[in-house]
Amino acid sequence: MNLKLPVIASMVMTVLMLSSCLGTDENTIVYYNDTALTSFSLGTVKLINHTTASDGSDSTYTTTYTPSSNLFYIDQQQGLVYNPDSLPVNTNVEAVLATINTKKSGVAVLELKDREGKDSLVYYSSTDSIDFSKPVNVRVYNLSWTAYRTYTIRVNVHQQSGTEFNWEKTTCSELSQVGMRRMVSTDQATYLFGVENEATVGFRLDNDTWTRLTSTTSLTADAYKSITVKDNYLYILNNGSVLRSADGSTWQTVGSASQLTQLLGASPYKLYAMGTEGLYESADNGATWSRDNLDESTDLLPQDNISFICKPSQVNADTYKLLLFGTRDGVTYTWSKVEEDESDAESAQPWSYYDVDKYNSHQLPKWDYEQVIWYDNSLLAIGGDFWQWYQSLDEGLVWDGETEEVNYYSLPGDFPKQSIQFTVTTDSNHYIYISRQGDERVWKGRLARTAWTEEQTVYTRSK
């Protein structure tokens, strides 16, 4: 290592000692033994922007910005300095000014490579640019020059814009024999249940391979409509009985409910179903059922293409917003309910009907088939001839198919533009799965930014 510090350090120490000797006791210099890096920030950086020229060709231009909102966190235990919120894609960090602050005026020294590629120690200066395209090590010496701590500074830059949506495809020849279908996902796997030879059959996706399930129970042709997930168990309504399974093959009867016509979905607290007299709920995993309260007539409940959404409240802990979508006579009907951890059944809120406002021009089209999912903090709906998604940012009140964000959710290029029964679901890894009746293909895709991981920003001292 090419050491440039000892000579400079000796000169500094000599000057400091002389100044101490010439002064009085009141001017005595105190040398601290502890040291630490206390803050880090970047100066102006360059951003390469891509655009399309008037002749249709791609071109670039460069702008600058100061990443003041991209805070850097310091892990004192591991000696790491990094920004959990990465800088935008195409940000150039190869020559950037940085501000490094240290405890009690400790001296910051950079571990760099010289022109010959040898290790070298260089004093940090706020006026010298640094190449942060790779991690940079910095030593922080105490004023006594008796000890130092090493930190690794990592400037994170996104490698994707975050708005890319990439689809991939899995196939299973047996699925071509399956008609009407419905998919759901647990934390372990994605399942597809559908109709084959007037009975419901099931398939499980593991490592992008579909496997046919061997069921211990014969499932009726309508059973697939009710497949629901709660607490990573599968639930299904079959001939008036509520069944539960951990793997989609072995089913156990948990309750009898002849009044039910279809399981709708679940929250962490309850199962929900459609029945002969409206909506029903079960707080004991399907063993018993009771009618749920509505603020409007049961004549306004949907009958077909039903989607059930459960999403956590952004305001209150242990509170969930439930949304029910579906069609009736070609019109979309929407209901919602706020569910809390209800120890007192009388305090439970009823289901509220979204009144169809004739002045609202931003409603869902009248599709033959439609499905709604919760994805990337918004509602997405698809149906009809599958030309585009519709998005709602206000829990289903207003829908728009022309927002900037909805354009991110492109459909697979080889997905047929034909109105037919289909199924769509999401999983815990932020993938969207979509498959059509009688088709051996199942597509899955993900918006790039949903896969970005959050880095640690809170640290506690280990005991």
Report the topology of domain 165-451.
Neuraminidase (2.120.10)
**Stretch 105-110: mean pLDDT:** 94
pLDDT surpasses 80 at 346 = no
Percent of the chain residues past pLDDT 90, beyond the cut:
68
Task: Give the pLDDT confidence of 317-339 residue by residue, as tens digits.
Answer: 889 999 999 998 888 899 999 99
- The pLDDT score that the predictor gives to residue 23 is 46
CA 267 to chain centre: 19
Q: Are 185 and 425 in contact (CB under 8 A)?
A: yes
Task: Give the pLDDT confidence of 283-319 residue by residue, as tens digits.
Answer: 999 999 999 999 999 999 999 999 999 999 888 888 9
pLDDT surpasses 50 at 42 = yes
Query: How far is 106 from 122, CA to CA, in rounded Å?
Result: 15
Please report, as a single letter, which amino acid is at residue 302: P
Q: Tell me, what DSSP letter sits at residue 449?
A: G
Highest mean pLDDT among 47-61, 374-388, 392-406: 374-388
Query: How far is 27 from 325, CA to CA, in rounded Å?
Result: 78
- The pLDDT score that the predictor gives to residue 355 is 87
Task: Give the pLDDT confidence of 177-203 residue by residue, as tens digits.
Answer: 999 999 999 999 999 999 999 999 999
Query: How far is 179 from 437, CA to CA, in rounded Å?
Result: 5
CATH number given to 33-154 = 2.60.40
- The pLDDT score that the predictor gives to residue 282 is 96
pLDDT surpasses 90 at 8 = no
- The pLDDT score that the predictor gives to residue 116 is 82
Q: Where are the domains of the chain?
A: 33-154, 165-451
Task: Give the pLDDT confidence of 136-150 residue by residue, as tens digits.
Answer: 999 999 988 899 999
Query: How far is 68 from 322, CA to CA, in rounded Å?
Result: 38
For residue 430, count other CB atoms closer than 10 A to its CB.
16
Query: How far is 53 from 75, CA to CA, in rounded Å?
Result: 45
- The pLDDT score that the predictor gives to residue 342 is 61
